[in-house]
Amino acid sequence: MASLSYIDMFRRLILLLLQGSTGDDAASESFKKPRRSERLSQRTDNDIVKTPVINKQHLPSPVTHLASEGTDEFAKEATATPSEGRVSQRRDDYVHSQAAALSSPPQDTQAFSQTHVDPNAPLSDEVEDEVKEGVWGYLLPMDTRYGGTCVVMRKRGSCPPSDTVAGAVSGGAKRPARKGRGALLKEQEAFDQKQKSSKGRSSGGYLIGRHPECDIQVDDPIVSNRHCLMFTEHKGNDTVVIIEDLSSNGTYVNDQLVGRNQRRELKEYDEIAVMDKARFIFRYPKNRHANAFLQQYTPIEKLGKGHFAEVYLCIEKSTGQRYAVKVFTKTPGVEERSKNEGLQQEIAMLMGVSHPNVLCLKDTFNEPNAVYLVLELAPEGELFNYIVKKQKLTEAECRKLFTQLFQGVKYLHDRNIVHRDIKPENILLVDRDLHVKLADFGLAKIIGEESFTTTLCGTPSYVAPEILADTRNRKYTKAVDIWSLGVVLYICLCGFPPFSDELTSAAFPYSLSEQIRKGKFDYPSPYWDPVGDPALDLIDSMLVVNPEKRFTVDQCLAHPWMTMKTPGVNDSTNGLVSGIQGLDVARRGVQRERTLLASINTVQVVTQIPGGDKPDVKVHAKNPGATPKKEARPDDARDADEFSQLGGKGDQVLFGDDGDSRYSVNDIAKQKTKGKANGGK
């Protein structure tokens, strides 16, 4: 057994030796190979082995995508119908598509640049000095189709250079007045077209929307004409940016809905979404320091006082320009919320409009003790004061006045803005040539194209019938402004309002609200005798109870009384037939004594502030020395002895047995019977 073991071991040794010699030969052959450089120089084309093509695709990293995914396909992608759900639920698809469009392919990566980057440099190459250029914000579009690479938001003059639409259209040059039917309407349309074509609007805020005049136009049917507005507000030593949602579909900040007619203060890196169509990143400039109101302006004189605010004349220290500042004092209480809502509404309205006949807002300051609105100055004061001093206006004066008012209201209505409180006190005179501006937008509201508002607001004598309807049936649109303008036109031509409590009598048993609801008014003699029929026809068309049949502002501008249409050769009525087709002649010639506003009001110029080379500023006082009347309480007229004699038997009968009662005899009889029954008990 042992010998066999040695034999087996020997055989195995021989096999191992044979295997080792073969490996040594292979190893020796490897050492005999030439160097790599020699081998490459000796290779022929037939010896070259090409790298095989691999069709597998690399997975994209978070910051890269495939080279085949170019931006052309993304840009040509059609706008899809909005899907259900909120914008935040559709965010992932939007962000993925934006990342695919804006990222770089893997092979396009480069080493970091060694160039020094100034951390205080502006965010746009368009800006050299943020402070000098008045930069207050940047919008970085996530899609370059909307706004390019960066939108620089700068402080800009918010007051139009001209006081008339005609002057704005012609660049301030004087030209003959346009005549003929529709001339005034075409003038306003030319003004709008100029603003659209040249981006000539100079309102203080920046607009995003579908309308051509918007600073950033998002041309999509689900985006509102004026979707959202951004503007600045000085807050202490800081300048903050406010975004106001004007849309019906919604504006989102960080995927949170702002809310229609609501506002929100923007923070650094906030993401603004206009539905799911356009997204922007907001950035503040490097220098946000702002001075307080008293550091920039010097108050001079108190001009007036309203329900919530006081108005002062002030001078801008850097330019010497004069402005009016509206000061809202902050006082804790129940009225603070109402005041704040009206204030925010007025700021948003004025920051989003720019028209020669709409008062412009230059600046706002939100400080711990008060809010300051720096407004355009109207040196001649309110139209109400002008009417009281003159008693009434001529037809020519009224025509000039209402050309401006109609054009200003058309500008607002075309942008779905309703003023809701047009009256002589809210129409300001810029000079003695009857250049006027609409003011006080505290009740103004932005509505949808077919929307209506339901809030009870306005001044009683000027409100439309639909405003006085019950809450459930109170639905009114832009037509309320036409009614108010009709009342103002009536007052200007005769000196007193068409509806008044003084008219209530046994022969005319209608209260103020009933007169308005039923459209009960006339043109009494002799006050209206000098006024031509076309003017009355225009008023009749504006003071129509049914808002659907009431004139629009376009129809008012095209009315023959406004355009002074040239008489036709074959027209025996001197071209006035078309202007009096709907005139209710029964309203004219009624003999009735009326009280002029000038006879019950006194307006005095208490101070006249010299303006140097500019018009003097007049400070008016209405009814000086008169104590404001308080609403009477039910028991003010009651004698104390009479009350003691009742002996606890109840209050006096509501309806007396007098011939002037407006209630039926049956109602009086029932009330007296009921009273006797109660007394018997």
Any idea of the CA torsion for 442, 443, 444, 445, to the nearest 10 degrees?
120
Q: What is the pLDDT of residues 358-408, one digit of tens each?
A: 988 888 888 888 889 899 999 998 999 999 999 999 999 999 999 999 999
CA 310 to the chain's CA centroid:
23
Radius of gyration for the alpha carbons in the chain, expressed in angstroms and rounded: 39
Nearest-angstrom CA–CA distance, 523 and 498 = 8
Non-local CB neighbours of 513 within 8 Å, separated by 6+ positions: 460, 468
Q: What is the pLDDT of residues 98-136, one digit of tens each?
A: 555 555 555 555 555 555 667 778 888 888 888 888 899
What is the pLDDT, as a whole number, of residue 44? 54
- Contact present, 405 and 427 (Cβ < 8 Å): yes
Q: Outline where 32-129 has alpha helix (H).
A: 36-42, 71-75, 91-102
CATH superfamily entry for domain 382-599: Transferase(Phosphotransferase) domain 1 (1.10.510.10)
Phi-psi region of 331 (alpha: psi -120 to 50; beta: other; left: phi over 0): beta
What is the pLDDT, as a whole number, of residue 291? 75
Query: Does this chain's domain 130-160+202-377 share its CATH topology with 382-599?
Result: no
Q: How confident is the model at residue 52 (pLDDT cuts 50, 70, 90)?
A: low
pTM: 0.66
Residue 403 vs residues 145, 407, 411, 437, 457: alpha-carbon distances, Å: 40, 6, 12, 12, 26
Q: Is 397 exposed, middle or buried (0-12, 13-18, 19+ CB in 10 A)?
A: middle
pLDDT at 179 over 70: no
Q: What is the pLDDT of residues 512-549, one digit of tens each?
A: 989 999 999 999 999 999 999 999 999 999 999 999 99
Any idea of the CA torsion for 172, 173, 178, 183, to the nearest 10 degrees?
-30
Sheet holding 278-283, edge to edge: 151-154, 135-141, 278-283, 271-274, 251-253, 256-257
**Of residues 664 and 162, more confidently modeled:** 162
CA 499 to the chain's CA centroid:
32
Mean pLDDT value of segment 268-277: 90
pLDDT at 63 over 50: no
- Helix/strand/coil percent split, the chain, to 5: 35, 20, 50
- Contact present, 663 and 670 (Cβ < 8 Å): no
Mean pLDDT value of segment 590-609: 81
Nearest-angstrom CA–CA distance, 419 and 405 = 12
Q: What is the pLDDT of residues 440-496, one digit of tens each?
A: 876 666 554 444 444 445 567 888 898 887 666 666 688 999 999 999 999 999 999
Count CB-CB contacts under 10 A for residue 136: 22
> What topology does CATH give the domain 130-160+202-377?
Tumour Suppressor Smad4 (2.60.200)
AA identity, residue 64: T
Of the listed ranges 130-139, 145-154, 620-629, the one predicted with least confidence: 620-629
CA angle 71, 76, 77 (to 5 degrees): 100
**Residue 657 a catalytic site member:** no
Q: Outline where 426-585 has alpha helix (H).
A: 479-494, 512-518, 533-542, 553-557, 560-563
Q: Is 326 annotated as belonging to a binding site?
A: yes
Mean pLDDT value of segment 628-656: 51
**Of residues 567 and 461, more confidently modeled:** 461
Nearest-angstrom CA–CA distance, 425 and 121 = 49
pLDDT at 197 over 70: no
Nearest-angstrom CA–CA distance, 467 and 453 = 9
Closest CA to 466 of 412, 517, 405: 517
Catalytic residue among 421, 481, 537, 540: 421
pLDDT at 278 over 80: yes
Residue 248 vs residues 83, 118, 227, 259, 498: alpha-carbon distances, Å: 16, 42, 8, 9, 37
Q: Which helix (H) or strand (E) holds 282?
A: strand 278-283
Q: Which helix (H) or strand (E) holds 132?
A: helix 130-133
Domain boundaries along the sequence of the chain: 130-160+202-377, 382-599, 640-680
Nearest-angstrom CA–CA distance, 487 and 422 = 9
- The token duo for 478 is 């832009």
Closest CA to 406 of 580, 186, 184, 565: 184
